[in-house]
């Protein structure tokens, strides 16, 4: 069983008098920065001038500075830019300022796991990864609650890396819910696998396959959309709140019987073998190398595949139907 830490296990006072730099004021950066500040900690925000995130940081009462300036002044540096730019930002603006005794923090282990960032052996390197978007991290904190987090230690130069990491987790509200101990390898590999095989890749392909099957059989696109995409949120909400067994008891008996008897026909042994192959590609670094090269060469494959996806008939009918739904947030 995983080891889980709570409020009683973390001492936020060890961060008092220290400066925490948050590099990147996106959704996660904003949520963490505001929570840390409201926990009485000294936060420096770094964001690019002229961006919406920069203006948001100013509106929230921060004075955004460059990554170089923030990392120079800070004792702890949390990198919350997107994965594909972290290595460049670290090399150009942060690395030289990570002197002995400082703490480097991540919320996703990609660049450490695949050695795109190679930190000095003189610093602590830790991960605090909230298992929810930044807006939820903020909302739960304001309600006196928290979002569960993961904690991992990559380097413990000071001998106090875990204490510092848990103190940071407490600062963003994570220890209120529970902080689960893991490793950079486990977090990164399972996160990538979940995105590729289930949450993004698996689900989107399953939806399109279902839609195409109904259209090829002569059903109206609008009806197909409702049955394979629109109602998905109802199911995922039930699964998140109650688990798979709870979801099955929350839908009709007809739907439940179709689930337990027909679902295995869709996810076959062949599908599971494909998943195993995908996991091997993640663990070996093949996917990471491919993604890094994709970014270095201007994303040629990304551009082609995104355009192809945008042109799928489900997108056109979906846009039309969503315009009929006033409760939907318009993109």
Residues annotated catalytic, as ranges:
108
**Could you tell me which of 83, 47, 77 has the C-alpha nearest to residue 63?**
47
φ, ψ (nearest 5 deg) of residue 206:
-65, -40
List, as one string, the DSSP characters of 272-293: HHHHHHHHHHHHHTHHHHHHHH
Question: Residue 165 contacts by C-beta under 8 Å, 6 or more apart in sequence?
Answer: 103, 105, 126, 127, 128, 151, 153
Structure-block tokens of residue 60 = 């929230």
CB 67 within 8 A of CB 45: no
> Which of 71, 78, 75, 79 has the alpha carbon at shortest distance from 14?
75
Whether 124 and 102 have beta carbons less than 8 Å apart is answered as yes
The residues near 58 (Cβ < 8 Å, ≥ 6 apart) are 64
Cβ-Cβ contacts under 8 Å for 91 (sequence gap 6 or more): 117
Contact 112, 86 (CB under 8 A): no
* Alpha-carbon span 46 to 69, nearest angstrom: 8
């Amino acid at each position: 069983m995983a080891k889980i830490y709570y409020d009683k296990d973390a001492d936020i006072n060890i961060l008092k008098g220290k400066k925490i730099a948050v590099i990147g004021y996106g959704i996660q950066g904003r949520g963490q920065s505001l929570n840390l500040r409201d926990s009485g900690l000294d936060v420096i925000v770094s964001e690019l001038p002229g961006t919406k995130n920069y203006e948001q940081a100013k509106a929230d009462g921060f004075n955004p500075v460059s990554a170089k300036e923030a990392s120079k002044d800070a004792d702890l540096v949390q990198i919350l830019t997107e994965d594909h730019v972290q290595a460049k930002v670290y090399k150009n603006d942060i690395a030289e300022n990570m002197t002995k005794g400082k703490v480097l923090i991540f919320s996703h282990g990609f660049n450490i796991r695949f050695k795109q960032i190679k930190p000095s052996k003189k610093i602590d390197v830790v991960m605090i990864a909230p298992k929810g978007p930044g807006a939820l991290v903020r909302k739960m904190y304001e309600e006196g609650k928290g979002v569960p987090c993961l904690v991992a230690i990559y380097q413990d130069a000071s001998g106090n890396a875990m204490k510092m990491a848990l103190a940071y987790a407490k600062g963003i509200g994570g220890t209120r819910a529970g902080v689960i101990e893991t490793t950079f390898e486990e977090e990164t590999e399972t996160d990538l696998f979940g995105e590729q095989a289930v949450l993004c890749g698996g689900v989107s392909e399953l939806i399109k396959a279902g839609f195409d099957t109904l259209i090829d059989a002569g059903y109206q696109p609008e009806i197909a959309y409702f049955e394979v995409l629109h109602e998905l949120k109802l199911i995922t909400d039930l699964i998140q709140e109650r688990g798979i067994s709870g979801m099955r008891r929350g839908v009709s008996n007809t739907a439940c019987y179709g689930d337990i008897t027909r679902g295995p026909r869709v996810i076959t042994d062949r599908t599971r073998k494909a998943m195993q192959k995908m996991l091997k590609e993640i663990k070996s670094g093949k996917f990471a190398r491919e993604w890094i090269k994709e970014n270095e060469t201007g994303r040629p494959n990304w551009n082609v595949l995104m355009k192809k996806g945008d042109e799928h008939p489900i997108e056109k009918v979906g846009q039309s139907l969503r315009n009929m739904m006033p409760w939907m947030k318009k993109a």
